[in-house]
Amino acid sequence: MTTIRRFCCNDLLRFAPVNFDHLTETFNMSFYMTYLARWPDYFHVAEGPGNRIMGYIMGKVEGQGESWHGHVTAVTVASEYRRQQLAKKLMHLLEDISEKDKAYFVDLFVRASNMPAIKMYEKLGYVIYRRVLRYYSGEEDGLDMRKALSQDVEKKSVIPFKRPITPDELEYD
Amino acid sequence: MASRFGLAGGIPERRVRSIWDAVDSRQFKTAHKLAVGLLAKYPNSPYALALKALILEKMGKPDEALSVCLNAKELLHLDNVVHVDDLTLSTLQIVFQRLDRLDLATSCYEHACGKYPNNLEMMMGLFNCYVREYSFVKQQQTAIKMYKIVGEERFLLWAVCSIQLQVSCGSGGEKLLSLAEALLKKHIASHSLHEPEALVIYISILEQQMKYEAALEVLSGNLGSLIGIEEDKLRMQGRLLARACNYAAAAEIFQKVLQSCPDDWESFLHYFGCLLEEDMNWSSASSTDQICSSRSVDFPASKANHLTVEVFDSRISSALSFVWKLQLDIQNDCIRGPYLASIEIERQRRLGGKADDGKFMEALLNYFHRFSHLSCFTSDVEMFICILSETEKAELLEKFVKILETSSTSPIKALGQAITVFKIQELFGVMFKFPITELEGTAKRMVEMYCKNLILSRDLDLQENMHGEELLSMASNVLVLLFWRTRKLGYLLEATMVLEFGLNIRRYVWQYKIPLMHLYSYMGALSSAYEWYVTLDVKNILLETGSHHILPYMLKSPNWLETGNLMKEYLKFMDDHLREVADLTFLAYRHRNYSKVIEFVQFKERSQHSYQLSMVRLEALILQLKEKADNIEEIQGILENANYGIQLLELSNEDKLKSLTFNEDLQARPWWSPTPEINYLSEPFEEGSACLREKLDQHKVGEKEQIARKHIETKSLIPRLVYLSIQASTFSLKENLEPNGSVSDVKVILEMKCLLERYARSIGLPFDDAVDVILGIAKGQKSFKDLDSDIISWINFAIFVNAWNLCSHHPGLVSEDGCGLTSWHVVNFLVKTCTAEVLMQAQPILTNPGGSLPVLVQLVTESFSWHVLVIQSCLKSMLPSGKKKKKGGAVDQMNSPHLQAIHDSIQCLSNAIRGIQKCVGDQINKPEDQNLDILLSLVQMEDCDEGPGYVHQALAESASANSSELGDRISGALQSWNSASGLRKIIAAQNKLLSHFHRICGSKLKLLESLKRST
């Protein structure tokens, strides 16, 4: 019972039960609205009966040449709707849209300590591409995980990088 | 910063680069020095001036920055100006915007565009200026000009969006839409369309004019291929067909959507609505809703009576067979849509007047069989089962329990099912009818079930939800209900213990934190509530939707520092958002996401009209007044900065009140306080409250909004009334000295009267009647108990009336001999009796949650403060500016009845506050251990059959049991749990609150002492 549709500003007023989750970041308004203004197709919400917000995914597409890729900025599901493969559905949606936009891969960052999430992404076909040292508020390392799309025929984008990098070495924020 | 041909604003780039670098690295002093040097070389360069202004603004010198900007602007307007480019204009624009002078930036661009009529870059800058000013008509005109110059699709769409905005957010009539349509048609004929969003806007323009057929034609033509996702296109087609009342075709389209997305609940509702030919209330005027379909989809109204019985039956069976087929095709256990659809179809059949053949129940049972282990089961079926009769509800519940007892499934699923049954019981309000012992048993069973099943979560990561977490929330709910019914505090303490216990095991569960915050606030343990609030990390937009969990309690507390910070953070967030939103709207224009343009503007309006925003703007000023109330000079400074309260008065004008939006997300609030205005625990338990849910729903809608409007109105008057009261007190004495009343006296009196009339209305009576009420109380003919509104508002009213009366000498408020003013005595009497009444009911906070402490706090920090300000103002104008009293005039004043009245009032306030301080002090002075013993005794089991203590015992047993098999994390958490430490926290937090208040009373008494000495 999942209606997936584009995320709207009004959803920001109803996503508290999802965002009270301690691992879900609540960004400032210009961050959300920049995503909505630039990449509305990469920002989707899943709604259940009674118009309850079940979860959402926000992302973007960026890069040059073979680095042109989809990026998952956040994917989150309300606790009431977990263990129903909703995150998988939302991830597939973003991957499909990235495919349509001829992206070479999709990537995301995850806290190195967030094992449940890392395992889930691995199940969805993502591999750890590299470690980003002290990515989260200068404290915790982040893992840059990637999944190659059909455009990347030789799957070059997911060959793991040999050494950890620092946040200032990142090509994109 | 960009440049062209090595020139920046007409200056060689190499000369300005060092300034840019200095600005980028925030070396503003260096930048300023360099800019001054540059200006010496290029004294007539508007760009050099703009740069200097930019730097000055960043250095915190807004006035200088403005004056330099104005110089630059003047230069730009000269006929012989050397160089004008977008870099100069945009730099000036940045500074003007930061100085809050958008109008000046616009005028620079307007002038430049007039001078260089074909400069596209400048025109885009001008368009952006109009976006910032929400000048939709001028936006449209500018966009059309750009379109005429280059003929690009995007500029046409900018114009069309500007038209849409005139219709949906401005004052433009719907006729404008036909202009937009004509523009688009003409463009399509010659150039077609290339952007999906352009097509969406075109369809929306047609749809808003109810030209559904035309829209469908566009969509099915070549342009339709612009919509990349096939299902999105189908959904649009379905909607258009339905709106055109071509229900059969629409249903067919939605069927297609469901075939590829069987879980799409919204599409199912549309499909089914079309089959039954229902008016689905597609939102009409709002273009955004049509574009992003964000509206809530209601169930089709149950009025399918226009269909004949035969047709209705055949539609129902065709829906059923379609849904069955979907169910057969599903390969995935997680897809619930088609099964829930069966329930909806049976619901409609039942509502359609069919004799109940048990099919509805059957569909519900089937759904239970499949999905009862899921956490969302109850919320999925909630809206269906509310139509059942009480007998049916009991029957259904019985069947659910039977299924539960007979099914053999995995322990995790079995736990999920058991939780679901508890949730359904909660939903049906079954617990309201349970005998006390059964309720106790239920709470205990829930806690024990949670503990017993901890083993299932042994291997889970700390980040993951544990199995059975909901049991503790529900147990806590039951315990609160037990408290409501029996008034035994022990249950309430157990309710907090259960949640603390859960948080001790896993500290991330917000579903425990929120009810705990409310319970602590209710118990006066506000700092504990605040600690949990902080861990929720409520920030950004959550401040708008989630502050209501703590802010209303804080506002009635003496914790001014935290309250002030909360409001500051919220106001900063809202102000930033409202300032930035126009630039983000322009970003949407630039990226050709036109539907977002409309959405952003509508959202900005919604944010701007937020009830909470108005409320916090008012409360923030009132808090400042409370904080500084002991110093009249500081109060005058605060009021001066707030434009003497005039701006805040505007918050309660009729239009503002009508357009208020309520953005709080109330879903997560505890059942006993569904809105900040309602707290059932403060009311007696009502027998038969099983229908509580319906009562909550009624409360939620109209009433809440009405209360909110009244609240804004009353509060908005206070700062201005405080200001005018201070003024009136000053004038009254001057009048005594110089009997020729000045013009401003008259103005103050008139304005005060007008505001007092509004104030009286907002507390429920016409002015004269309200005055009669306070006179009635003063004469002992009426009691506070007879009043509808809260005591604080009435005391405030009496205080402001007295201040007004000092100048106006209202008949009825002057003593019989004509020498004195009765209004002083009225206030004194009200202060005395009201304090006495509240104190008489005041019980120690430790054992009496929800008591009168917030009222006492408000009395002292608000009402009494306002009265002290009136007194201070009177005294200030009576006594000469030097501290020493002069002979003559001042001595005369001393003997006046007026002074005697002031003296009496000071004495009366002192007595009242001393009484309050004593009541508070008695509570603080009790040793902590003694308080702990009292609380512990309330949660110890007694020898009788019922009473609090069972749950506490269950928690203690679980904590002390051998739990090594639960893994280190859970077992360690269990062993570290201790009920006494939780209770100590409550006591400490209550003491903190009381001590704060005690200090405030102390400082008020000190002030009154000094005032007494000066009389």
For the cut 50, the answer to whether the pLDDT of residue B741 exceeds it is: no
Which burial class, exposed, middle or buried, applies to B904 when counting CB atoms under 10 A from its CB (0-12, 13-18, 19+)?
middle
Q: Which pLDDT value is given to residue B129?
A: 97
For the cut 80, the answer to whether the pLDDT of residue B688 exceeds it is: no
For the cut 60, the answer to whether the pLDDT of residue B937 exceeds it is: yes
The residue among B348, B341, B280, B359 whose CA lies nearest residue B312 is B348
**DSSP run (H or E) holding B363:** helix B359-371
Question: Is any Cβ of chain B less than 8 angstroms from the Cβ of A159?
Answer: no
pLDDT-derived band of residue B57, with 50, 70 and 90 as boundaries? very high
Contact call for B334 and A28, based on CB within 8 A: no
Q: Which CATH number fits domain A3-169: 3.40.47.10, 3.50.50.60, 1.10.150.120, 3.40.630.30?
A: 3.40.630.30
Asked if B977 contacts B959 with a C-beta cutoff of 8 angstroms, the reply is yes
Q: Where in chain B is the domain with CATH 1.25.40.10?
A: 1-116
pLDDT-derived band of residue B700, with 50, 70 and 90 as boundaries? low
Largest CA distance in chain B: 102
The residue among B662, B774, B639, B671 whose CA lies nearest residue B711 is B662
What is the amino acid identity at position B975? Q
For the cut 90, the answer to whether the pLDDT of residue B208 exceeds it is: yes
DSSP bridge pairs for B4:
B7
For the cut 50, the answer to whether the pLDDT of residue B885 exceeds it is: no
Q: How many A-B residue pairs are in contact by the CB < 8 A criterion?
A: 152
The alpha helices in B5-85, defined as continuous H runs, are: 13-24, 28-41, 46-58, 62-77
Q: Which pLDDT value is given to residue B962?
A: 82
For B310, how many CA atoms within 13 A lie in the half-sphere containing its CB?
A: 0
Tell me which residue has tokens 């299924």. Answer: B403
Task: Give the Cα separation of A122 and B538 in Å (integer).
Answer: 31
Question: What string of DSSP letters covers B789-815?
Answer: S-HHHHHHHHHHHHHHHHHH--TTSB-
pLDDT-derived band of residue B817, with 50, 70 and 90 as boundaries? low
pLDDT-derived band of residue B701, with 50, 70 and 90 as boundaries? low
The alpha helices in B879-896, defined as continuous H runs, are: 889-895
The residue among A18, A89, A75 whose CA lies nearest residue B337 is A89
Tell me which residue has tokens 């009032």. Answer: B905
Residue from the list A8, A40, A79 with its beta carbon closest to the beta carbon of B294: A8
Q: Over the stretch B11-37, which tens digit does the pLDDT of each residue have?
A: 888 889 999 999 999 999 999 999 999
Q: Over the stretch B335-376, which tens digit does the pLDDT of each residue have?
A: 999 999 999 999 988 887 766 678 899 999 999 999 999 999
Q: Which pLDDT value is given to residue B732?
A: 64
Contact call for A47 and B265, based on CB within 8 A: yes
**DSSP run (H or E) holding B626:** helix B611-627
Task: Tell me which of B79-83, B115-119, B910-914 is least confident.
Answer: B79-83
pLDDT-derived band of residue A172, with 50, 70 and 90 as boundaries? confident
The alpha helices in chain A, defined as continuous H runs, are: 16-19, 29-38, 86-100, 115-123
**What mean pLDDT do residues B933-943 have?**
88
Question: Is any Cβ of chain A less than 8 angstroms from the Cβ of B297?
Answer: yes
Q: Which pLDDT value is given to residue B927?
A: 92
Question: Is any Cβ of chain A less than 8 angstroms from the Cβ of B263?
Answer: yes
For the cut 90, the answer to whether the pLDDT of residue B981 exceeds it is: yes
B882 vs B384 pLDDT, higher one: B384
B919: left (phi > 0), else alpha (psi -120 to 50), else beta?
A: alpha
Q: Which pLDDT value is given to residue B738?
A: 45
Contacts 24+ apart (CB under 8 A), B625-630: B625/B719, B625/B722, B625/B865, B626/B560, B626/B861, B626/B862, B626/B865, B627/B560, B627/B564, B629/B861, B629/B865, B629/B866, B629/B868, B629/B869, B630/B865, B630/B868, B630/B1003, B630/B1004, B630/B1007
Residue from the list B228, B463, B573 with its beta carbon closest to the beta carbon of A100: B228
**What mean pLDDT do residues A36-51 have?**
94
* Residue B455 to residues A115, B37, B810, Cα–Cα distance (Å): 20, 75, 76
- Roughly what angle, to the nearest 10 degrees, separates helices B767-778 and B791-808? 100
Task: Map out the domains of chain A as residue ranges.
Answer: 3-169
Q: What percent of chain B has pLDDT over 70?
A: 91
Q: Over the stretch A64-106, which tens digit does the pLDDT of each residue have?
A: 999 999 999 999 999 999 988 999 999 999 999 999 999 999 9
The token duo for B849 is 């949650």
Q: Which pLDDT value is given to residue B823?
A: 87
Question: Is any Cβ of chain A less than 8 angstroms from the Cβ of B572?
Answer: no
Q: Over the stretch B825-847, which tens digit does the pLDDT of each residue have?
A: 899 999 999 999 899 888 899 99
**DSSP run (H or E) holding B576:** helix B560-590
Question: Is any Cβ of chain A less than 8 angstroms from the Cβ of B600?
Answer: yes
The distance of B539 to chain A (nearest Cα, Å) reads 7
For the cut 70, the answer to whether the pLDDT of residue B69 exceeds it is: yes
| 3-state SS assignment for residue A105 | strand
**What mean pLDDT do residues B633-661 have?**
93
Task: Give the Cα separation of B873 and B868 in Å (integer).
Answer: 8
Contact call for A29 and B375, based on CB within 8 A: no
Which burial class, exposed, middle or buried, applies to B641 when counting CB atoms under 10 A from its CB (0-12, 13-18, 19+)?
exposed
Q: Over the stretch B516-539, which tens digit does the pLDDT of each residue have?
A: 999 999 999 999 999 999 999 999
A127-136 and A140-148 strand pairing: antiparallel
The distance of B58 to chain A (nearest Cα, Å) reads 21
Tell me which residue has tokens 């890729």. Answer: A69
**What mean pLDDT do residues B208-230 have?**
94
Q: Which pLDDT value is given to residue A49?
A: 86
The token duo for B104 is 């000046």
Residue from the list B334, B545, B600 with its beta carbon closest to the beta carbon of A9: B600
**Buried-state track A11-26, b at ≥16 Cβ within 10 A, e below 16:** bbbbbbbbbbbeebeb
The distance of A54 to chain B (nearest Cα, Å) reads 10
Question: Is any Cβ of chain A less than 8 angstroms from the Cβ of B576?
Answer: yes
The answer for A 79-108 residues in CB contact with B (under 8 A) is 79-82, 84-85, 100
- Roughly what angle, to the nearest 10 degrees, separates helices B86-98 and B46-58? 30
The distance of A132 to chain B (nearest Cα, Å) reads 21
The distance of A116 to chain B (nearest Cα, Å) reads 7
| ipTM value | 0.96
What does the DSSP 8-state code read for residue A140? E
Contact call for A13 and B336, based on CB within 8 A: no
Asked if A162 contacts A145 with a C-beta cutoff of 8 angstroms, the reply is no
Q: For all residues of chain B together, what is the average pLDDT? A: 89
Task: Give the Cα separation of B317 and B429 in Å (integer).
Answer: 34
The distance of B537 to chain A (nearest Cα, Å) reads 8
Residue from the list A11, A80, A114 with its beta carbon closest to the beta carbon of B379: A80
Task: Tell me which of B156-170, B233-247, B803-817 is least confident.
Answer: B803-817
**DSSP run (H or E) holding A55:** strand A53-62
Task: Give the Cα separation of A3 and B269 in Å (integer).
Answer: 11
Sign of CA dihedral B990, B996, B999, B1000: negative
For B344, how many CA atoms within 13 A lie in the half-sphere containing its CB?
A: 27
The token duo for B221 is 């033509």
Model pTM score: 0.93
For the cut 70, the answer to whether the pLDDT of residue B169 exceeds it is: yes
Q: Which pLDDT value is given to residue B728?
A: 87
- CA angle at B260 for the pair B255 and B266, rounded to the nearest 5°: 60
Q: Which pLDDT value is given to residue B739?
A: 44
The distance of A112 to chain B (nearest Cα, Å) reads 12
Task: Give the Cα separation of B675 and B549 in Å (integer).
Answer: 9
Contact call for A1 and B587, based on CB within 8 A: no
pLDDT-derived band of residue B747, with 50, 70 and 90 as boundaries? confident
What does the DSSP 8-state code read for residue B940? S
pLDDT-derived band of residue B778, with 50, 70 and 90 as boundaries? confident
Contact call for A17 and B584, based on CB within 8 A: no
Neighbours of B702 (CB within 10 A): 9
Q: Which pLDDT value is given to residue B821?
A: 66
pLDDT-derived band of residue B856, with 50, 70 and 90 as boundaries? very high
What does the DSSP 8-state code read for residue B860? I
Task: Give the Cα separation of B344 and B496 in Å (integer).
Answer: 39
Task: Give the Cα separation of B522 and B641 in Å (integer).
Answer: 35
Q: Over the stretch B484-500, which tens digit does the pLDDT of each residue have?
A: 999 999 999 999 999 99
Asked if B57 contacts B105 with a C-beta cutoff of 8 angstroms, the reply is no
Contact call for B376 and A48, based on CB within 8 A: yes
pLDDT-derived band of residue B268, with 50, 70 and 90 as boundaries? very high
Tell me which residue has tokens 């973003």. Answer: A94
Q: Which pLDDT value is given to residue B788?
A: 61
Q: Which pLDDT value is given to residue A16?
A: 96
| 3-state SS assignment for residue B421 | helix
**What mean pLDDT do residues B107-136 have?**
94
Q: Which CATH number fits domain B1-116: 1.10.1040.10, 1.25.40.10, 1.10.1740.110, 2.40.50.140?
A: 1.25.40.10
For the cut 70, the answer to whether the pLDDT of residue B887 exceeds it is: no
Q: Which pLDDT value is given to residue B961?
A: 87
